A and B are shown apart, each in its own frame.
Chain A
Amino acid sequence: MSAPAPVAPAIELSDVTKTYGSGALAFQALKGIDMRVEAGEFVMLIGPSGSGKTTLLSILGCVLSPTTGTAAIFGEALHGRRESELPRLRLEYIGFIFQGHNLMSALTAEQNVAVPLELRGYSHHAALVEAREVLTSVGLGDKFKKRPEELSGGQRQRVAVARAIAGRPPLILADEPTASLDAESGMQVTQLLKALCTERGHTVICVTHDSRIYHLADRKIFLEDGRIVPEDQAH
């Protein structure tokens, strides 16, 4: 029993630009991005500070709309959407991992992981069962009831990974998920992310600065000054 593979690519961007502000203050952060990612790929997005990585990720994550160009994930167009449609798209397609863990400090690990599941219509009970399963798969089988403040940085980021992949949204977007971790934990979390996403069939876009984890990528995309550049031209 296997679901039919999606026909559309996971990501298809064509001449996407993003301009922040307007008039004299306008700033073009993306200057025409063409990009295609197949379902199941683990892609690292690499580039210097200010090159537009977060901007690109925000567009893919349906929290920002492109100024011009066309963008689609799994065949679903993202451009020209009404603001009110975006939350549904995010629930349907995307799991987020942020630079900070961004967990709710009042909730336990399992409650944090259950939130996006409940928003997707899981019953309270089913959400908890799934949350525990995913937490176990990230190696936190004994930390269900711990609040973020009771966990180490690496453990928190693993809860964040669990929250992103719980419910199996097809696209996982991670913005420097290891930035706040030491090298050791950063490597562990990335390896875990890679292994789980391969096993569960997620497509991953992972922004990173950390050259020590580049080798985990199926493919690397280099961004500079709002444009995609070939690897040999990247700084």
Chain B
Amino acid sequence: MKRPAMAQPVLTQASFFGRVRTMAAIGIRMMFFDRLKLAGTLFGVVFAVLLGNFQAGTFLALLGKNRMFVENAQVDVWITPPGTRQFQGGKPLTDSQLNRARATAGVAWAEPLVVQTAALQLPSGGSEPVSLVGTRRPRFVGGPWNLVRGDTRSLLVPNGVIFEDSEREKLGGLNLGTLRELAGHKVQAVGFTWGLLPFAPAYAFAEQELAREILKVAPDKHTFIMVGVEPGVPATVVRARLQDALEDTRVMTRDEYMKEILTYIITATQIGLSFGLSTFMGVLVGMITVALSMFSSVIDNMRQFGTLKAIGSRTVDLALLLFTQAIIYGVLGSIIGLGAVAGMVEGMRNPQLTPVLLPEAFAITAVAMVGVCLAASLLALVRLIRIEPAMVFR
């Protein structure tokens, strides 16, 4: 019998990408082999995604409510009472301030705005407050937007007031042409807006003379002064000039005002903190779930990981295996979670407080969750590194 050829050392080795492929395939198969653990882990990620997006979305909705007026009014620079941090009046501004604003270089126009709460008499006998906005003809800056019935020019109808459509029932069944008493003054519904619901009572709009009569605000007192700048002049430049010219006011460009409201909500109220904290808790719970599940998977499969090491995988290879699992948990959990969030938000579409889901939220969530899962996998990795390949003989 011929002596067989002896087996020779195997000198080939997998490339990095070959190892990634092999380890990823093993990782995925292990994940889907233990379905119960897969479901449990995904539940953790989905929980974090749901909570995070609901918190962030509700915060954005809240922010939107506080900023909607500044966001929608076609105003470049706002002159507000000193210390203003929200869209809320304070000490009234004066006619002399309005005139000085008009005389400032770079100012194309300056218009006063009157905003104050007024009670609308209901047929049932009670009353409901509205935030009545007095906007001046003919420019109607700070006037109604998002109109579903009537238009801004409807405010030229004597005693005409535009109300919020989604509040029609609450305001006692308003229709076009309905006559009501607003702070003791006869008014007529001449149009409706949609979704103009700040946290204060819903906005209602009237021509400024009518509004001043209803609200009993003198013609030379203004809640805000709104400024449009001349073409080509930066709003910030005009803002600086106005601030110099007008003491006892706070002057902000539109963008600055928007930012100020955001800062106010985050810093001066507990809202930012509480939303941030609950988002953090949700993400933390998700992360802990993933970390424990991956860790216990390593413990459960200790011999198998030890065997992988013994037959020639290095620790980096096993890290690749865990990272693949982490990435898949993050991506799958994000897809399922975001699908659920989108479905739920769609189901609760109303102008009250629907969480706002920005398209960016999807990308941010997926990236964040993959990051969270990768971080969570480090616990398992630490355990994996400590596995001695010699253990498989024991």
Give chain A residues whose Cβ lies under 8 Å from the Cβ of B388.
Answer: 63
Contact with B along A182-202 (1 / 0, CB 8 A): 000000000000000011111
Binds B, one of A116-124, A137-145, A211-219, A221-229: A116-124
Are A170 and B26 interface neighbours, CB within 8 A?
A: no
- B130 CB → nearest A CB, Å: 64
Which residue in B6, B14, B317, B392 is a CB contact (below 8 Å) of A120? B14
Q: How many residues of B contact A (CB 8 A)?
A: 43
Any chain B CB within 8 A of the CB of A96? yes
Enumerate B142-199 residues with CB–CB distance to A below 8 Å: none
Are B304 and A102 interface neighbours, CB within 8 A?
A: yes
Any chain A CB within 8 A of the CB of B5? yes
Are A3 and B6 interface neighbours, CB within 8 A?
A: yes
Enumerate A103-135 residues with CB–CB distance to B below 8 Å: 103-107, 111, 115-116, 118-124
- B1 CB → nearest A CB, Å: 10
Which residue in A61, A63, A84 is a CB contact (below 8 Å) of B314? A84
Enumerate B305-322 residues with CB–CB distance to A below 8 Å: 306-314, 317
Any chain B CB within 8 A of the CB of A77? no
Known contacts A84-B314, A87-B314; A119 and B14 CB within 8 A of each other: yes
Give chain A residues whose Cβ lies under 8 Å from the Cβ of B32.
Answer: 106
Q: Give Cα A64–Cα B394 distance, bound, in whole angstroms.
A: 13
Are B14 and A102 interface neighbours, CB within 8 A?
A: no
Give chain A residues whose Cβ lies under 8 Å from the Cβ of B11.
Answer: 92
Are A121 and B22 interface neighbours, CB within 8 A?
A: no
Known contacts A64-B390, A124-B21; A202 and B7 CB within 8 A of each other: yes
- Chain A's interface size range is 35 or more
Enumerate B4-27 residues with CB–CB distance to A below 8 Å: 4-15, 18-19, 21-22, 25-26
Give chain B residues whose Cβ lies under 8 Å from the Cβ of A100.
Answer: 303
Any chain B CB within 8 A of the CB of A6? yes
Which residue in B29, B309, B389, B394 is a CB contact (below 8 Å) of A106? B29
Give chain A residues whose Cβ lies under 8 Å from the Cβ of B9.
Answer: 74, 76, 92-93, 169-170
- A56 CB → nearest B CB, Å: 11
Q: Give Cα A3–Cα B11 distance, bound, in whole angstroms.
A: 14
> Which of B33, B303, B307: most chain A CB closer than 10 A?
B307
Which residue in A91, A175, A202 is a CB contact (below 8 Å) of B13? A91
Any chain B CB within 8 A of the CB of A168? yes
Q: Give Cα A57–Cα B390 distance, bound, in whole angstroms.
A: 10
Enumerate B119-134 residues with CB–CB distance to A below 8 Å: none
Give chain A residues whose Cβ lies under 8 Å from the Cβ of B304.
Answer: 102-105
> Which of A92, A104, A111: most chain B CB closer than 10 A?
A104
Are B13 and A105 interface neighbours, CB within 8 A?
A: no
- A230 CB → nearest B CB, Å: 26
Which residue in B4, B307, B311, B393 is a CB contact (below 8 Å) of A54? B393
Q: Give Cα A200–Cα B3 distance, bound, in whole angstroms.
A: 10
- A186 CB → nearest B CB, Å: 18
Which residue in B12, B34, B389 is a CB contact (below 8 Å) of A121? B12
Any chain B CB within 8 A of the CB of A206? no
Q: Which 8 A-B pairs have the closest CB atoms?
A: A106-B33, A91-B312, A121-B12, A201-B6, A118-B22, A63-B389, A102-B307, A168-B7
Seed contacts A63-B388, A87-B313; 9 additional CB < 8 Å A-B pairs: A6-B6, A76-B9, A88-B13, A96-B311, A104-B304, A115-B308, A119-B19, A119-B22, A121-B13
Q: List 25 A-B contacts (CB under 8 A).
A: A3-B5, A40-B3, A40-B4, A40-B6, A54-B394, A58-B390, A63-B392, A90-B310, A92-B10, A96-B310, A96-B311, A98-B393, A105-B33, A111-B25, A116-B311, A119-B22, A119-B312, A120-B13, A120-B312, A124-B22, A168-B8, A169-B7, A169-B9, A170-B6, A201-B5
